[in-house]
Amino acid sequence: MNIGFVVYGSIDTLTGGYLYDKHMTEHLTVRGHRVDILSLPVKCHPFKFGDNFTSFLIRRVAEGGYDLLLQDELCHPSLFLLNHRLRRRVSTPIVAVVHHLLCQEPRPRGLNSLLALPEAAFLDSVDGFIFNSRSTQQAVFQLSPAHRPFVVAQPGGDRFRNRISAAWIKERSLQPGPLRLLYVGLVIERKGLLPLLEALADVDRNHWRLEVVGDTSLVPDYVWRVQQTIDAHGLASNVRLSGTLSKEALAARFIDSHLLCMPFAYEGFGIVTLEAMNFGMPVLGSTNGATPELVRYGGNGLLFDRGDLRALAAAVRELHTDRRRLLGMSVAAHEAARVHPTWNESMQRIERFLEGILKTSRYP
């Protein structure tokens, strides 16, 4: 297959969505397919709409002679009108790769209603979907109910290929001292770091430490609010903002930490959730989004409603005290990750789906 793939900026960007896109691109390339990355410039949200009236992408697609065109759904502000212009030039089937919906992120309902208009228009303009979770699939079909072919291919958790042992999981869980909590993700509002800090501020300082791993450059105002919250509650000795880490350094954090702590993050899937479980880390996650597809409450983690700060604080206190329960959850997390599909297995599902789209498409 000769495939064009539309993304914003660089496919090497360090987020879960881009990691998914990169795994898919590399798998298809290794399998003998050609994948051209068609990069759109990164802009502030309102300026993305102007891309719908340019001809750059239309020319690239027409010149590429692609069998299929993949479009990362995050690019929908640039494509919801342009796709209709594209149809007049080429007959290439368009498949959207959907990580999560912008209009599902936590924000005022009125604003989300406005954001849903171009997002729904984009979803209506494509011929099929690749979803990273059942949660994402359901959200899309609520917004754009017309039936089109789709595949759900969850990310794998085996990127690190670790060999963590049951003995180490036991030793780590039963070690005395504060719980070592790990947050991995962009420092942005959707990931819920501020309410996490507010909740932890009510827990004895000797019971926990939190390391925040993730890019702090995207929303400086939010990072400033995070720092102000740390200072206001006197958490400087408990919270470490580490920024972006290398793959090797992140693996070391997974090995050493007790819990992945992202209880108020909205995730279309949350690759880091599965990666943490692969290191035997239980997850303190959210009831929103796709986390409940991976986390069984009380088994391999705990789930929290958005804003339930008291429940989170109580859970941290309990797990600090009851290390046997922490051990049981750690073992369960490791086992759940072990039986989860690998990246290769999920990417094979996508490859078969795309080949099927090409065979059954109404386009010549």
Tell me how far apart the alpha carbons of residues 304 and 56 are, in angstroms, rounded to a whole number.
Answer: 45
For residues 72 and 123, state if they share a domain: yes
- Which token pair is 265? 């993050």
The residue to which tokens 């949660």 are assigned: 135
Same-domain check for residues 95 and 237: no
In total, how many domains does the chain have? 2
Check if the beta carbon of residue 141 is closer than 8 Å to that of residue 124: no
Claim to verify: residue 77 and residue 140 sit in the same structural domain: yes
| pTM over the 0.75 mark | yes
Residue 303 within a domain: yes
> Do 141 and 177 lie in a common domain?
no
Cα dist. 273→76, 109, 282, 337 in Å? 26, 27, 9, 10
pLDDT, residue 363, reads 44
Residue 203 lies in a domain: yes
Block mean pLDDT (10 aa), the chain, length 364: 97 91 98 98 93 94 96 98 95 96 87 95 97 96 94 91 88 97 95 97 98 95 97 98 95 97 91 94 95 93 95 98 98 95 96 94 53
Predicted pLDDT at 266:
86
Tokens of 327: 């051990």
Burial of 361 (0-12, 13-18, 19+ CB in 10 A): middle
77: in domain = yes
Cβ(83)–Cβ(252) under 8 Å? no
Are residues 238 and 268 both part of a single domain? yes
How far the first Cα of the chain sits from its last, in Å, is: 14
Query: Does 105 lie in the same domain as 182?
Result: no
CA distance 262 to 278: 16
Same domain, 104 and 117: yes
Confirm whether 133 is domain-assigned: yes
Q: Is residue 180 part of a domain?
A: yes
Taken in order 130, 136, 142, 143, is the CA torsion positive or negative? negative
Query: Which one, of 257, 249, 248, 306, lies nearest residue 277 by Cα?
Result: 257
The answer to the question of residue 323 being in a domain is yes
- Which position has the token pair 């992408």? 57
- Tell me, what's the pLDDT at 105? 85
Is there a single domain that holds both residue 184 and residue 140?
Answer: no
Residue numbers of the domain that contains 209: 166-338
Residues 13 and 145 in one domain: yes
Assess if residue 86 is contained within a domain: yes
The answer to the question of residue 161 being in a domain is no
pLDDT of residue 364: 42
| CATH assignment of the domain containing 150 | 3.40.50.2000
Q: Are residues 185 and 302 in the same domain?
A: yes
Same domain for 188 and 219: yes
